[in-house]
Amino acid sequence: MGVKTYKPRSPSRRNMTGADFKEITKSTPEKSLTTELRKKGARNNFGRITMRHHGGGHKRRYRIIDFLRTKLEIPAKVSSIEYDPNRSCRIALLTYIDGEKSYIVAPVGLNVGDTVVSSEKADITPGNSLLLKDLPTGTTIHNIELRPGKGGQLARGAGSSAVLVAKLGRYSQVKLPSGEVRQVLSVCRATVGQVGNTDHENIKIGKAGRTRWKGKRPKVRGMCMNPIDHPCGGGEGRGKGNHPMTPWGKPCKGHKTRKNRRTDAMIVKRRSSKK
């Protein structure tokens, strides 16, 4: 895991950086654990755009990741660390002693040849999966379930991790990467450690084409549009009097969109405000 710089042979190369991929041990994925990934360009069944700025991108195969970790009490050996084009972190190929194979999110410190297990009595080492009630307070965790048996949903991106703050009866308090402290059922499963590829946030894209490879199309600012196309468009010269809003007049950039009142009681502390 490191950041690679390039010789400035062109203006875009001058400020471009990329991953060095030194941790990658296998270049081709396990064929039985991949499936096709069809793209629709954010169009629905009528052919209409339902989400702007989507389209293009490099062709990919989807890697089937085991977010459940329900193969209990059976040790697995790490066969390889691989690149996954569908996520920012690296993935680890596990080979169980019964011959079955699966992919998991690769945490920091997990190397080829290590052994991981999903068990109530597993050691507190990176890659092992336990229930929250079986983890000691203060443990760094990732791939956390919100509902028992649904699979990990929280802290799955590169470099992200959460901390088990407290255990209070049926619920455990988990501090998420955003700073939010949330109650999660103690019978939910989590994986020990921090997600790998921590240098992902330090990579500079460098050029517009690299963003297009990711399937992201250009965005046009509302200020540059005509009045008929956007509420912020038009005017003689540059105008910044209006509040940020979508082309349809809805507030954006700071407007609160959370409406899930059913789980509001689970939030002990709101996320930290970004300075």
Q: How confident is the model over 23-56, as pLDDT tens digits?
A: 999 999 999 999 999 999 999 999 999 999 999 9
153 falls in which pLDDT band (50, 70, 90)? very high
Sign of the dihedral defined by the CA atoms of residues 162, 167, 172, 175, in that order: negative
Residue 275 scores a pLDDT above 50:
no
Q: Which residues pair with 100 in a beta bridge?
A: none
Is residue 229 situated within a structural domain? no
Is residue 149 situated within a structural domain? yes
178 falls in which pLDDT band (50, 70, 90)? very high
pLDDT mean over 117-127: 95
Spell out the residues 6+ positions from residue 139 whose beta carbon is closer than 8 angstroms to its own: 124, 163, 164, 192
Per-residue pLDDT tens for 232-258? 999 888 877 778 999 999 898 888 888
- CATH (domain of 78): 2.40.50.140
Q: Which pLDDT does position 161 carry in this prediction?
A: 97
Is pTM beyond 0.75? Reply is yes
Is residue 148 situated within a structural domain? yes
Q: pLDDT exceeding 90 applies to what percent of the chain?
A: 89
> CA 103 → CA 26, 100, 142, 229, distances in Å?
13, 11, 15, 46
114 falls in which pLDDT band (50, 70, 90)? very high
**Domain extent at residue 119:** 3-201
Per the structure, how many domains does the chain have? 1
Tell me the three state secondary structure of residue 191: strand
Is residue 91 situated within a structural domain? yes
Angle at the Cα of 61 from the Cα atoms of 56 and 63, rounded to 5 degrees: 130
Q: Which residues pair with 168 in a beta bridge?
A: 171
273 falls in which pLDDT band (50, 70, 90)? low
Mean pLDDT of the chain: 94
Is residue 124 situated within a structural domain? yes
Residue 274 scores a pLDDT above 70:
no
- Bridge-based pairing state of the strands 91-96 and 101-105: antiparallel
> CA 192 → CA 58, 142, 202, distances in Å?
33, 6, 24
Which segment of 22-26, 127-131, 199-203, 258-262 scores lowest on mean pLDDT?
A: 258-262
